[in-house]
Structure 1
């Protein structure tokens, strides 16, 4: 069976488009990472970019010390904000994280107040 070059290009193009729709390729760039004062947890602020058709998202997540960073699981995010705003993180105590973010909340679409016993507070700029 002889397949034309055009048929092959069309099939590959459709295959690549389908795979991009099923699982988008996202890039995570760590902007800041700090350990809690007791050394048990790590807070990470990162920028997530999933391509030209979506906005950049700034994300904060906390993980236990000794575990590797991964930005691939949205259920672990404690804060998400669309766009490239000025966001900062700092530990106030071993179980208290403060996230400083813009005062207006139009681009904020996820804020968690407690994560695994740690209290999270938000300080608008």
Structure 2
């Protein structure tokens, strides 16, 4: 018995894939640009938090990404890299600051425009407030 895939099912699944791939703010596409908005060293000078604005074209909303990384004293140009700990497509500022080993981010921890929010990174605690 032959099995036929209905054209509608194929078209629907293809559309859903394109919708997810095109709207997901952390995909790594060659047409994306990251602009460093701010970067702050932890008080002990061992870690850096960096806020970047990621733009991937007019069909995808821009996203703000906060990354954490260990500071490598031998590499002075390592700003903007590191592990992603917070991603949002929400409008507005995204202030953050260090309090000892605690990184405080002035943003909601969950919500419609939040795609990632970690509460811990290594020995660094992460707190969200409004």
With the length of structure 1 as denominator, give the TM-score of the two structures: 0.70
Alignment of 1:1-125 (within 5 A): 23-66=29-72, 68-70=78-80, 76-93=83-100, 95-101=101-107, 105-124=111-130
User: In proportion to residue count, which structure has more strand?
Assistant: 1
Cα deviation digits, residues 66-107 of structure 1 (max 9, x gap): 251345x7xx210000143221110011x2100102587221
Distance 1:115 1:104, change over 3 A: closer
Cα deviation digits, residues 9-47 of structure 1 (max 9, x gap): xxxxxxxxxxxxx94321111111000000000000111
Distance 1:57 1:111, change over 3 A: same
Gaps of 5+ in 2: 1-27
Distance 1:103 1:118, change over 3 A: closer
CA RMSD, aligned part only?
Answer: 2.1
With the length of structure 2 as denominator, give the TM-score of the two structures: 0.68
Gaps of 5+ in 1: 1-21
Distance 1:103 1:113 in 2: 9
